[in-house]
Amino acid sequence: MKAKHTTTVQSCQRLAEGVYDLRLVYETDPGEVLPGQFVGVYSKDSARRLPRPISIAGYDPKGKVLRLVFRVVGAGTEEFSHLKAGDQVDVLGILGNRYDLPALSGKKVLLLGGGIGAPPMLCLAKALHSLPGTEVTAVLGYRTNDLFLADEFEEVSKVVIATDDGTAGFHGNVVEAVRAQNLPADVICACGPLPMLRGVKALAEERRVPCFLSLEERMACGVGACLGCVTKTTKVDAHSHVKNARICTEGPVFNAEDVEI
Amino acid sequence: MENTNTKVDLSVNIAGVTFQNPVMTASGTFGSGMEYSDFVDLNRLGAVVTKGVSNVPWEGNPTPRVTEVTGGMLNAIGLQNPGVEVFVERDLKFLENYKTRVIVNVCGHTEDEYLAVVERLQDEKRVDMLEINVSCPNVKQGAMAFGVDPKALYDITRKIRAVAKQPVIMKLTPNVTSIRETAKAAEDGGADAVSLINTITGMKIDVERQKFVLANKTGGMSGPAIHPVAVRMVYEAAQTVQIPIIGMGGISTWQDAVEMMLAGASAIAVGAENFHNPNATMEVLSGIEDYARRHHVAHISDIVGAVHQ
């Protein structure tokens, strides 16, 4: 059941330039939390009305601690970056669908995370790590050698680094890195900027492997009512009855074959 | 000492339809209630006003469709909807499980398209009223074009009134020079009620990219920042027409709702605030009830238009 929860900040730490690691403790159980899902985080400023959709980087059900790793992109996320332990934050959700873990189990899974697309892939990498026979390789793309979260990926998967400026790992983007190193995959999962996801979709089509993408879009309600955050779909969507699906509800995780991006 | 146990009659009557309380949802912000039923007991709403429905499915606009602005938001959804057949089969069926009133918002590009939906809904028992959307600023053809021209508004109101079996609410746009003129045109055309305001046309430009934020360039502004504009327009419409008014525009608190009723609205709708607070309708409702008790108002309808005296 979706709800607006009050949470308490456990910590908020800077991980890299403009990237923060926020831990929020729920008072009441938010229910099951699975890789791919997101929450809407509310600002305390009454002039900022809409919840900010932020993907889930991790969740500890014992302490009810939600982990969000986000980049400062505007006034709302700037505000969140200054949160201190003990502050109260209103959070909408858990929202959205999730990665189909049984479908990934026992496979060679390639996880592609571009920039701030890496955090939800970490949540997925950790979940896949516990599934027997599942081989996970994470390909992480960064602008520079400010390699946030890479060390945590290394604990649960093989890691390939790609940087835009060539200061660490492969000089280029994640898709180029996969091609250059001919990394094997039975299935690909990816989150990152739209141009990257287009490249990933093309890569999966060439290799004829299943591919799942975490999409993002400007959102308002976050719960499927306003139809603000749609993506174009290849077939008529079962809910909308047009070729548009709600990223907040039918997504954010889509089979790459089903979306036109 | 105030007697806090006094029973307040929260019911309101609009064009012969009784609503258990004056709190409704603004069209387009609440789907058909399904998406908010985790947050709100729909049985407690005065009415669910559904998202606009057209005769055939509409794709809506490209994205980005929404963006935040100070004290509100802009949207240019473009009335994406699955069309009236799916709406009847799925959304109306869903609403059969609830005792709230149902107001169906109707949209179209042409008079014939509006009339097709109105005809299709004629015998649907779950439809208590129709709200005709002649005020959406995000559709290139139709919609607001009917709402800004008093003559066109009068004509379409007459035609719809002749076909509709349910009472007809004309939803008015604030993007006009005189809301008095358009409210009067709707009344003269036979509207049973008017609702106002729809969103105010706005624009946001990304200064770093030097591009429009919304794919549609313009969008309709909603949220608390537009509330004073809505109150003023409800007040002016109430001075001008005899038919009931449903007031909306930036209502985020019970105070905003009461203000709107004092200005002349018989009922009110909560819109974009649902995105900020999914429980907003229920908080507004209990606030209105407390207000009535504190002010010794036996019937909430007694405060409607109180500032006009």
What letter would DSSP give residue B167?
-
**Rama region for B63: left / alpha / beta (φ>0; ψ in -120 to 50; rest):** beta
Tens-digit pLDDT string for chain B (309 aa): 445 566 899 999 999 999 999 999 999 999 999 999 999 999 999 999 999 999 999 999 999 999 999 999 999 999 999 999 999 999 999 999 999 999 999 999 999 999 999 999 999 999 999 999 998 777 766 677 889 999 999 999 999 999 999 999 999 999 999 999 999 999 999 999 999 999 999 999 999 999 999 999 999 999 999 999 999 999 999 999 999 999 999 999 999 999 999 999 999 999 999 999 999 999 999 999 999 999 999 999 999 999 997
Q: Are strands B245-248 and B267-270 parallel, antiparallel or unpaired?
A: parallel
Q: Could you give the residue numbers annotated as active site of B? A: 136
> In this complex, which of B57, B65, B66 lies closest to A242 when CB atoms are compared?
B57
Do A174 and A140 contact (CB within 8 A), yes or no?
yes
In chain A the first and final C-alpha atoms are separated, in Å, by 30
What own/partner pairs with CB < 8 Å and gap ≥ 24 does A195-200 have? A196/A112, A196/A114, A196/A117, A196/A141, A197/A261, A198/A261, A199/A173, A199/A175, A200/A112, A200/A174, A200/A175, A200/A256
* CB-based contact B35 A221, cutoff 8 Å: yes
The matching CATH number, chosen from 3.40.50.80, 3.30.43.10, 3.30.2130.10, 3.30.1130.10, for A101-214 is 3.40.50.80
Q: Which residues in chain A are closer than 8 Å to B88, comparing Cβ atoms?
A: none
* CB-based contact A47 B71, cutoff 8 Å: yes
CATH of domain A4-95: 2.40.30.10
Reported as half-sphere exposure (CB side, CA atoms, 13 A), residue B90 has a value of 17
What letter would DSSP give residue B58?
B
> In this complex, which of B29, B68, B70 lies closest to A226 when CB atoms are compared?
B29
| In the block, residue with structure tokens 């009223």 | B129
* A76: closest chain B residue by CA: B68
Nearest of B216, B230, B214 to residue B272 by alpha carbon: B230
Q: Which residues in chain B are closer than 8 Å to A229, comparing Cβ atoms?
A: 63, 65-66
What ranges in chain A are assigned the alpha helix state H? 75-81, 101-104, 118-129, 150-156, 174-181, 194-207
- Show which of residues 2-61 on chain A sit within 8 Å of chain B, judged by CB atoms: 2-4, 42, 46-51
From residue A50, give the alpha-carbon distance in Å to each of A92, A201, B1, B275, B277. 10, 31, 41, 6, 9
* CB-based contact B70 A47, cutoff 8 Å: yes
Any CB–CB contact under 8 A between A224 and chain B? Answer: yes
Give Cβ neighbours of residue A47 (< 8 Å, ≥ 6 apart). Answer: B70, B71
* CB-based contact A226 B28, cutoff 8 Å: yes
Any CB–CB contact under 8 A between A1 and chain B? Answer: yes
Any CB–CB contact under 8 A between A110 and chain B? Answer: no
> In this complex, which of A221, A231, A249 lies closest to B275 when CB atoms are compared?
A221
- Kindly report the pTM of this predicted structure: 0.96
Q: Which residues in chain A are closer than 8 Å to B276, comparing Cβ atoms?
A: 42, 49-51
Q: What is the mean pLDDT of chain A?
A: 97
Give Cβ neighbours of residue B97 (< 8 Å, ≥ 6 apart). Answer: none
For chains A and B, what is the number of CB pairs under 8 angstroms? 109
From residue B108, give the alpha-carbon distance in Å to each of A37, A222, A226, B134. 36, 27, 19, 8
- Interface test with chain A among B32, B66, B273, by most A beta carbons within 10 Å: B66
For chain A, give every residue range classified as CATH 2.40.30.10.
Answer: 4-95
Nearest of A162, A161, A158, A160 to residue A129 by alpha carbon: A158
pLDDT digits over B54-68, tens only?
999 999 999 999 999
**Among positive and negative, which fits the CA dihedral A53, A57, A59, A60?**
negative
Give Cβ neighbours of residue B202 (< 8 Å, ≥ 6 apart). Answer: B69, B74, B218, B219, B220, B221
> In this complex, which of B35, B51, B73 lies closest to A50 when CB atoms are compared?
B73
Strands, E assignment, chain B: 12-14, 17-19, 23-25, 47-49, 66-69, 72-75, 101-106, 129-133, 168-171, 193-196, 200-203, 205-206, 211-212, 218-222, 245-248, 267-270
CA–CA separation, A58 and A40 (whole Å): 15
- Domains in chain B, start-ordered, CATH in brackets? 12-60+78-199+222-308 (3.20.20.70)
Tens-digit pLDDT string for chain A (261 aa): 789 999 999 999 999 999 999 999 999 999 999 999 999 999 999 999 999 999 999 999 999 999 999 999 999 999 999 999 999 999 999 999 999 999 999 999 999 999 999 999 999 999 999 999 999 999 999 999 999 999 999 999 999 999 999 999 999 999 999 999 999 999 999 999 999 999 999 999 999 999 999 999 999 999 999 999 999 999 999 999 999 999 999 999 999 999 999
CA–CA separation, B287 and B130 (whole Å): 27
* A232: closest chain B residue by CA: B62
Any CB–CB contact under 8 A between A249 and chain B? Answer: yes
CA–CA separation, B145 and B157 (whole Å): 13
